[in-house]
């Protein structure tokens, strides 16, 4: 049923016809709910589970919290694998390395076992964004891609919100509930993988490039380092994409600090339980994103990636300040709503940016992989910085103030990038007009020009018209 065929080059496959786009969109949204919503629902509560169920300390909680974002650095290597495999093989490998280990957490008897399985899953999870970006580029035309992504995100957010509420309530009632819902999530995720494989087959985006049809050779050190070398080459050559990544790196300082400290703040400072954590962070956060993702998708299509990012980063300045001032679950819920509204724009811009800057559909997975790998880099640098500042000062004040300042500077960087892109667009339009004029034969220009007025009969000036002076 899912047999690959080699007669299609998916790098040049056109998007589906408009009347088929709705069916494609519904299928991709459903698959994303089965895969990513279940993943988010079971992993968001994992640091709190490690702390409350397995007795993890501050640094042990930190290692669980930062695993996924830090190990996203492996995305660039997943992209190299995607370039050499069919979508079917890639997605099945992704399930085996990213989603199955999450299901095996149900077997954990201590913190060490939980951490090992979760680190394996985190390494594998960095493979999601390259294939997701590839499908976005191939399945939807440019003018509708932002709205398509907003629909997919809305479905995913709804699934995550429901799943997070259920997981929090179940764990509150039974501390061993994870031994049931973890393997159940892995089964649902496998169903989502099967649906994506079917979608790729039906839309003819599943075959590997013909250039890689030769028998595989044993990898050499040069081959293993090639993705990193290519990443540096892309960033040096594409200056606009480099500035986009620089702004997201600054934003990442703020986000990583907040993300790393949140589980400790909720359990240590506010003494919240499973259900309070799930409801006041994940549930209301996902609900806020769900209600705003569709209009933000329209905004992104209308005003562009850079302007959407700049506005969202500016709004996030208030998020760490709200965490500092919150005194109970209700106040955490209120700041989480604001956070969700702002992150609607960030999430869309985060995914659409590499798709927008990639010069061709074939390079989209590579650009997305670079983008995702840099998430891992800032995770390594800044989440440790957050925990170190907290440990040295015994306070959340200084790291969260630094996070707020980082969001502010990232917004300024994106505004400058938007101005640069506007200038480049105007220059490009002027160059095209000049080139058209140069290549138009003089005889044609003379024929197209209006006949000159006779010298003795100047054109009359209409009453009320502006008279040149």
Three-state secondary-structure class, residue 369:
helix
Low-confidence ranges of the chain (pLDDT < 50): 1-13, 207, 210-213, 215-216, 218-219, 221, 224, 453-469
Of residues 350, 348, 351, 342, the one with CA closest to residue 297: 348
d(CA 193, CA 87): 10
d(CA 181, CA 45): 12
Question: In Å, how far are 8, 32, 301, 382, 468 from 127, measured between CA atoms?
Answer: 23, 14, 26, 22, 64
Do the beta carbons of residue 291 and residue 157 sit within 8 Å? no
At residue 302, the pLDDT reads 83
Give residue 140's Cα distance to chain centre. 17
Of residues 244, 211, 231, the one with CA closest to residue 366: 231
Do the beta carbons of residue 139 and residue 22 sit within 8 Å? no
Conformation bin of residue 457: beta by default, left when phi > 0, alpha when psi is -120 to 50: beta
Q: What count of other Cβ atoms lies within 10 Å of the Cβ of residue 372?
A: 28
At residue 465, the pLDDT reads 33
CA-based torsion, 289, 293, 299, 305: positive or negative: positive
pLDDT tens by residue, 144-199? 777 788 889 889 888 988 998 899 889 989 989 999 999 999 999 999 999 999 98
Task: Please tell me the pTM assigned to this model.
Answer: 0.68
Q: What count of other Cβ atoms lies within 10 Å of the Cβ of residue 190?
A: 18
Conformation bin of residue 204: beta by default, left when phi > 0, alpha when psi is -120 to 50: left
Backbone angles phi, psi at 188, to 5 degrees: -60, -40
At residue 141, the pLDDT reads 79
d(CA 383, CA 391): 12
Question: In Å, how far are 450, 456, 463 from 467, measured between CA atoms?
Answer: 21, 20, 10
Check residue 359 and report its DSSP letter: S
Do the beta carbons of residue 89 and residue 2 sit within 8 Å? no
Three-state secondary-structure class, residue 229:
helix
Check residue 85 and report its DSSP letter: S
d(CA 11, CA 310): 31
> Helix and strand tally (H, E) in the chain?
22, 0
Conformation bin of residue 57: beta by default, left when phi > 0, alpha when psi is -120 to 50: beta
Of residues 377, 352, 369, the one with CA closest to residue 79: 369
Alpha helices in 174-238 (DSSP H): 178-202, 221-237
Three-state secondary-structure class, residue 185:
helix
Burial readout 88-121 (b: 16 or more C-beta within 10 A, e: otherwise): bbbbbbbbebbbbbbbbbbebeebeebbebbbbb
d(CA 381, CA 121): 21
- DSSP letters, 232-296, are HHHHHH-HHHHHHHHHHHHHHHHHHHHHHHHHHIIIIIS---HHHHIIIIIIHHHHHHHHHHHHH
Domains of the chain plus CATH, in order, are 18-207+236-426 (1.20.1250.20)
């Amino acid at each position: 049923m899912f047999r690959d065929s080699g007669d299609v080059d998916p790098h040049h496959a056109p998007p589906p016809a408009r009347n088929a786009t709705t069916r494609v969109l519904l299928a991709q949204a459903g698959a994303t709910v089965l895969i990513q919503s279940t993943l988010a629902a079971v992993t968001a509560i994992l640091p709190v589970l490690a702390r409350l169920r397995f007795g993890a300390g501050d640094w042990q909680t930190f290692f669980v919290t930062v695993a996924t974002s830090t190990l996203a650095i492996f995305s660039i290597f997943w992209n190299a694998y995607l370039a050499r495999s069919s979508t079917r093989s890639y997605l099945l490998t992704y399930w085996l390395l990213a989603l199955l280990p999450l299901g095996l957490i149900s077997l954990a008897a201590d913190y060490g076992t939980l951490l090992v399985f979760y680190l394996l899953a985190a390494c594998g999870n960095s493979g999601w964004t390259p294939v997701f970006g590839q499908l976005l580029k191939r399945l939807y035309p440019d003018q509708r891609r932002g709205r398509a992504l907003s629909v997919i995100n809305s479905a995913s957010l709804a699934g995550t919100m429901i799943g997070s509420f259920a997981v929090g309530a179940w764990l509150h009632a039974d501390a061993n509930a994870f031994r049931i819902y973890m393997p159940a999530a892995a089964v649902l995720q496998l169903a989502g993988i099967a649906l994506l494989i079917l979608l790729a087959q039906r839309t003819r985006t599943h075959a590997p490039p013909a250039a890689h049809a030769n028998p595989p050779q044993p990898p050499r050190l040069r081959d293993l380092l090639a993705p990193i070398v290519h990443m540096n080459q892309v960033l040096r050559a594409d200056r606009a994409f480099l500035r986009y990544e620089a702004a997201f790196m600054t934003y990442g300082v703020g986000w990583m600090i907040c993300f790393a400290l949140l589980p400790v703040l909720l359990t240590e400072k506010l003494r919240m339980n499973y259900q309070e954590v799930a409801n006041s962070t994940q549930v209301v956060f996902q609900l806020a994103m769900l209600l705003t993702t569709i209009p933000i998708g329209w905004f992104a299509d209308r005003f562009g990636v850079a302007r959407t990012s700049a506005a969202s980063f500016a709004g996030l300045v208030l998020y760490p300040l709200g965490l500092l001032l919150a005194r109970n679950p209700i106040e955490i819920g209120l700041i989480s709503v604001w956070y969700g509204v702002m992150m609607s724009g960030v999430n869309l811009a985060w995914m659409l940016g590499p798709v927008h800057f990639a010069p061709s559909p074939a390079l989209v997975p590579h650009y997305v992989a670079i983008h995702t790998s840099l998430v891992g880099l800032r995770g390594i640098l800044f989440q440790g910085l957050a925990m170190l500042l907290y440990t040295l000062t015994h306070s959340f004040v200084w790291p969260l103030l630094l996070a707020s300042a980082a969001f502010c500077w990232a917004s300024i960087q994106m505004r400058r990038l938007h101005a640069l892109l506007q200038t480049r667009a105007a220059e490009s339009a002027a160059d095209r007009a000049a080139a058209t004029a140069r290549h138009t034969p003089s005889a044609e220009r003379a024929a197209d020009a209006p006949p000159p007025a006779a010298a003795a009969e100047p054109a009359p000036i209409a009453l009320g018209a502006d008279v040149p002076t």
